[in-house]
Amino acid sequence: MDPKDATQSASCSTVCVNNPHLDAMKDDILYHFSLGTRTHDLPNMFGDVKFVCVGGSPWRMKSFNEYIAAELNMEDPKSEYPNICAGTDRFAMYKTGPVLSVSHGMGVPSIAIMLHELIKLLHHARCTDVTIIRIGTSGGIGLEPGTVVITKQSVDATFLPKFEQVILGKTVVHNTDLDQSLAEELLQCSKELNQFETVIGNTMCTLDFYEGQARLDGAFCSYTEKDKQDYLNKANKAGVCNIEMESAVLAAMCKLSGLRAAVVCVTLLDRLKGDQLSSSHEVLQNYQQRPQILVGSYIKKQLRARAGRS
Amino acid sequence: MDPKDATQSASCSTVCVNNPHLDAMKDDILYHFSLGTRTHDLPNMFGDVKFVCVGGSPWRMKSFNEYIAAELNMEDPKSEYPNICAGTDRFAMYKTGPVLSVSHGMGVPSIAIMLHELIKLLHHARCTDVTIIRIGTSGGIGLEPGTVVITKQSVDATFLPKFEQVILGKTVVHNTDLDQSLAEELLQCSKELNQFETVIGNTMCTLDFYEGQARLDGAFCSYTEKDKQDYLNKANKAGVCNIEMESAVLAAMCKLSGLRAAVVCVTLLDRLKGDQLSSSHEVLQNYQQRPQILVGSYIKKQLRARAGRS
């Protein structure tokens, strides 16, 4: 191998921070994780991480950590699985072997804070070959509730695959493509599982849950039922399978840092038929486990394949 | 009094939902609170609420609830102050007499979900004369850390007092003025307390904590230290005293629903001098209590004045 190729390949597999100022900092405080380079031995704590699973709810990420520990036969019956971010209530973080589970709250700004600090954490910990997967919930469009959607592209409220960010008062536009081979591998995994319907499609990412997603049941609504249906039908025709609130910035930031990324969300309802989450607690709980089951199975398969190669 | 005036006055003091579709709903599920009109007697649970205090962190809102209970001599030494939203981990909610304390997570989308459901809750509970105050943390510009800022106007990243929302793919612009008399009353209250510096000024509301606030310490940074200083100095000249991530949508939504609203944030650092929150835990804890102390004192004074009048 040409030495230049080796360098490129090595630099590709690490987690890129694109910030020349970081090197000059003596200490880096990851404030919203309550972690830092001076106070914590990040390479020792996180150096072996290969998969990061993220989701809005701290309870769901705790439960995913317990699920993956059992799947990988790494559960410790005596352990309570400590929350690594116990010093703060902004995010929750759990770890089992090479799998890190982190909550990100609701909406683009919340997950962006988490991702900035997660990317720095993976960089400081000198992690390599990291895959990040969001396991979330969403509203479906024209799909049976409970269907799992693997995102092809994250699109905005005008159905365009872009994420706009304001830096120093100026708008910067980012691409929101996700890793297509990872999406295909996840779809294949779901076919093998054969437990629930899974599709690959576009995901609309909005900044608001009510009017931003054409709901009729918010505190305010300035449009008619027909306006709503027209908009959602237009989205459907543009290839939008589901709507959630975090995929755009996850796609953009993971692309910028060279992380393989996927978004796997279950649809809790069909938005063409309603707005309220009126299914029973048990049904919604069952749906919410589907992305966990799929991603758990994928991680297990990947780790087995790697163990077989080594 | 002219009967027309009486009607206007009564309708002004209730909480307005501007949504003709709500009346047609048999049941309204406030999903992210795990509450609903069919499952909960909202007028009985919340009908007496006069003040709603909101803040990002669930721990802080729990602690504020305990603080206000002690201030109002309404503490119950036997009670654990149950989290009213215990059925979900999206938001936390506590109540002491006429004061409701609710967490809202980080960023505009997260607080917007909370506010949609809070405004519907107050409407369903037939609450009247409600004041809502955000007690938060922020980065200051040119102020001594620990200074409390009462927001005059919430401005965007170009220093304009507006909030842009996308509805059915189209941008709608809202005004972000806050209640000036409430701001003045809070400032007066802080003068009487005489415990810490408090100012009235503009607050910049951003969608990102790192590049969106001109920080040099995120995972990515595409500008120089000089670019950062120039931008923050421009903000300073435009009257921006502090930067946070929720005030714009709070101002816009409270205005639309006829709620008196204020934003009271402490500055944890001076952004002209740095980016990282490197003060000790104790110092930051002390700063974070300041908005609580000020708002607690204000509520106590208001309730005394009302009791005196009745």
- Please judge whether B165 and A212 are an interchain contact, meaning their C-beta atoms are less than 8 angstroms apart: yes
Containing A55, the helix (H) or strand (E) segment is strand A51-55
**B136 part of contact set with chain A, CB < 8 Å:** no
Amino acid at A134: R
Look up residue B181 and give its two tokens. 């008399």
- Please judge whether A223 and B166 are an interchain contact, meaning their C-beta atoms are less than 8 angstroms apart: no
Each residue's pLDDT tens digit, B164-199: 999 999 999 999 999 999 999 999 999 999 999 999
- Paired residues of A24 in beta bridges: none
- Please judge whether B109 and A211 are an interchain contact, meaning their C-beta atoms are less than 8 angstroms apart: no
Q: What whole-number distance in Å separates Cα of residue A261 and Cα of residue A185? A: 12
Q: How many CB atoms lie within 10 A of CB A171?
A: 10
**Which range among A221-235, A257-271, B11-25, B254-268 shows the weakest confidence by mean pLDDT?**
B11-25
What's the confidence (pLDDT) of residue B12? 47
What's the confidence (pLDDT) of residue A23? 86
| Model confidence band, residue B13 (pLDDT cutoffs 50, 70, 90) | confident
Q: Cβ(A267)–Cβ(A283) under 8 Å?
A: no
* Surface-to-core class of residue A227, CB atoms within 10 Å of its CB (0-12 exposed, 13-18 middle, 19+ buried): middle
What's the confidence (pLDDT) of residue B1? 37
- Please judge whether A105 and B108 are an interchain contact, meaning their C-beta atoms are less than 8 angstroms apart: no
What's the confidence (pLDDT) of residue B276? 94
**B81 part of contact set with chain A, CB < 8 Å:** no
B-chain CB neighbours of A222 within 8 Å are: 18, 167, 172
Distances (CA, A) of B20 to B25, B112, B244: 10, 19, 33
Residues 6+ apart with CB under 8 A from B77: none
| Model confidence band, residue B296 (pLDDT cutoffs 50, 70, 90) | very high
ipTM of this complex prediction, to 2 decimal places: 0.94
Residues 6+ apart with CB under 8 A from B219: A17, A18, A19, A115, A116, A117, A119, A120, A123, A253, A256, A257, B210
Mutation choice for A interface testing from B35, B168, B174, B275 by most A CBs within 10 A: B168
Between A16 and B10, whose confidence is greater? A16
- Please judge whether A29 and B210 are an interchain contact, meaning their C-beta atoms are less than 8 angstroms apart: no
**B105 part of contact set with chain A, CB < 8 Å:** yes
What's the confidence (pLDDT) of residue B2? 41
Q: What whole-number distance in Å separates Cα of residue B174 and Cα of residue B248? A: 9
Angle, alpha carbons A144-A145-A148 (nearest 5°):
90
Q: What whole-number distance in Å separates Cα of residue B287 and Cα of residue B293? A: 10
What's the confidence (pLDDT) of residue A134? 98
pLDDT at B127 over 80: yes
**B208 part of contact set with chain A, CB < 8 Å:** yes
**B106 part of contact set with chain A, CB < 8 Å:** yes
Between B215 and B5, whose confidence is greater? B215
- Paired residues of A267 in beta bridges: A138
- Please judge whether A210 and B107 are an interchain contact, meaning their C-beta atoms are less than 8 angstroms apart: no
Pairing between β-strand B148-155 and β-strand B260-270 as defined by DSSP bridges: antiparallel
Q: Cβ(B158)–Cβ(B148) under 8 Å?
A: no
Nearest CA in chain B to A59: B89
A-chain CB neighbours of B32 within 8 Å are: 106
What's the confidence (pLDDT) of residue B168? 98
User: Dihedral sign, CA of B64, B70, B71, B74?
Assistant: positive
Task: Output DSSP code: residue A18.
Answer: B
What's this model's pTM, rounded to 2 decimal places?
0.95
Digits of tens for pLDDT over chain A (310 positions)? 343 333 333 344 788 888 999 988 999 999 999 999 999 999 999 999 999 999 999 999 999 999 999 999 998 777 778 999 999 999 999 999 999 999 999 999 999 999 999 999 999 999 999 999 999 999 999 999 999 999 999 999 999 999 999 999 999 999 999 999 999 999 999 999 999 999 999 999 999 999 999 999 999 999 999 999 999 999 999 999 999 999 999 999 999 999 999 999 999 999 999 999 888 989 999 999 999 999 999 999 999 998 888 7
**Which range among A267-276, B6-15, B130-139, B238-247 shows the weakest confidence by mean pLDDT?**
B6-15
Containing A190, the helix (H) or strand (E) segment is helix A180-193
In chain B, positions 222-241, which contact chain A (CB-CB < 8 Å)?
A: 222-223, 225, 227-228, 231
A-chain CB neighbours of B31 within 8 Å are: 276-277
**Span B242-266, mean pLDDT?**
97
- Paired residues of B153 in beta bridges: B177
**B212 part of contact set with chain A, CB < 8 Å:** yes
- Please judge whether B219 and A253 are an interchain contact, meaning their C-beta atoms are less than 8 angstroms apart: yes
Q: Which of A22, A166, A276 sits opposite B212 (nearest CB)?
A: A166
Q: Which of B25, B115, B167 sits opposite A222 (nearest CB)?
A: B167
B-chain CB neighbours of A21 within 8 Å are: 216-217, 221, 225
**A112 part of contact set with chain B, CB < 8 Å:** yes
- A vs B, Cβ pairs < 8 A, gives 219
What's the confidence (pLDDT) of residue B4? 39
Nearest partner of A15 among A177, A127, A99, A98, judged by Cα: A127
Closest approach of A28 to chain B, Cα-based (Å): 8
Distances (CA, A) of A11 to A68, A127, A130, A255, A270: 29, 11, 13, 14, 43
Phi-psi region of B270 (alpha: psi -120 to 50; beta: other; left: phi over 0): beta
Each residue's pLDDT tens digit, B82-105: 999 999 999 999 999 999 999 999
Phi and psi dihedrals of B263, rounded to 5?
-125, 120
User: Dihedral sign, CA of A8, A9, A11, A12?
Assistant: positive
Between B52 and A306, whose confidence is greater? B52
Closest approach of A305 to chain B, Cα-based (Å): 31
User: Dihedral sign, CA of B146, B227, A176, A306?
Assistant: negative
Phi-psi region of B239 (alpha: psi -120 to 50; beta: other; left: phi over 0): left
B-chain CB neighbours of A113 within 8 Å are: 106-107, 208-210
Each residue's pLDDT tens digit, B190-205: 999 999 999 999 999 9
What's the confidence (pLDDT) of residue A216? 97
- Please judge whether B116 and A210 are an interchain contact, meaning their C-beta atoms are less than 8 angstroms apart: yes
**Span B118-136, mean pLDDT?**
97
Query: 3-state DSSP helix/strand/coil percent for chain A, to nearest 5?
Result: 40, 25, 35
Nearest CA in chain B to A18: B220
**A139 part of contact set with chain B, CB < 8 Å:** no
First to last CA, chain A: 20
| Model confidence band, residue B75 (pLDDT cutoffs 50, 70, 90) | confident
> How does the average pLDDT of chain B come out, rounded?
94
Closest approach of A59 to chain B, Cα-based (Å): 7
Closest approach of B178 to chain A, Cα-based (Å): 19
- Please judge whether A245 and B276 are an interchain contact, meaning their C-beta atoms are less than 8 angstroms apart: no
**B300 part of contact set with chain A, CB < 8 Å:** no
Residues 6+ apart with CB under 8 A from B222: A18, A167, A172, B211
Closest approach of B25 to chain A, Cα-based (Å): 8
User: Dihedral sign, CA of B237, B241, B247, B252?
Assistant: negative
Residues 6+ apart with CB under 8 A from B246: B56, B104, B106, B107, B108, B110, B111, B134, B136, B205, B263
Residues 6+ apart with CB under 8 A from B57: A89, A90, B103
Residue bearing tokens 């030495």: A3
Residue bearing tokens 């054969």: A194
Look up residue B166 and give its two tokens. 């996308």
In chain A, positions 32-71, which contact chain B (CB-CB < 8 Å)?
A: 32, 56-59
* Surface-to-core class of residue B30, CB atoms within 10 Å of its CB (0-12 exposed, 13-18 middle, 19+ buried): buried
What's the confidence (pLDDT) of residue A208? 97
Q: What whole-number distance in Å separates Cα of residue B177 and Cα of residue B179? A: 7
